[in-house]
């Protein structure tokens, strides 16, 4: 295996590890949000807020030269996982 390719792959592995740590932190925050919403009797999903999140991520993706549709799919996957976690915690529908 070539040294250059191994070197680049090591960077990828570092970045992917950083993703996992960032995701772990993100789920800590959404757990707090879920708890807060449940205490306040707020609905788990806030569609207006979601629209803002998607608009933000798409704009930022575009600014950084990424495909905004791809960024949007990533956020959807993350939010769906958050909702699934909340449902698993509360036993409630989304």
For the stretch 81-88, contacts whose Cβ atoms lie closer than 8 Å and that sit 24 or more positions apart, written own/partner, are 82/27, 82/30, 82/34, 83/44, 83/45, 85/27, 85/30, 85/31, 85/34, 86/30, 86/34, 86/44, 87/44
At its nearest, how many Å lie between a second copy and the CB of residue 94? Answer: 16
Site for a second copy in 53-72 (CB under 8 A): 53, 56-57, 60-61, 64-67, 70-71
- Residues within the interface to a second copy (CB under 8 A): 2, 4-5, 8-9, 11-13, 15-27, 29-30, 32-33, 36-37, 40, 49, 53, 56-57, 60-61, 64-67, 70-71, 73-75, 77-78, 81
């Amino acid at each position: 295996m070539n040294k250059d390719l191994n070197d680049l792959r090591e960077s990828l592995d570092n970045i992917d590890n950083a993703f996992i740590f960032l995701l772990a932190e993100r789920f800590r925050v959404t757990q707090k949000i879920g708890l807060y919403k449940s205490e306040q009797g707020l609905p788990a999903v806030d569609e207006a807020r979601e629209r803002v999140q998607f608009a933000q991520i798409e704009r930022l993706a575009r600014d950084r030269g990424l495909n905004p549709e791809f960024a949007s799919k990533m956020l959807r996957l993350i939010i769906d996982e958050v909702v699934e976690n909340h449902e698993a915690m509360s036993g409630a529908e989304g």
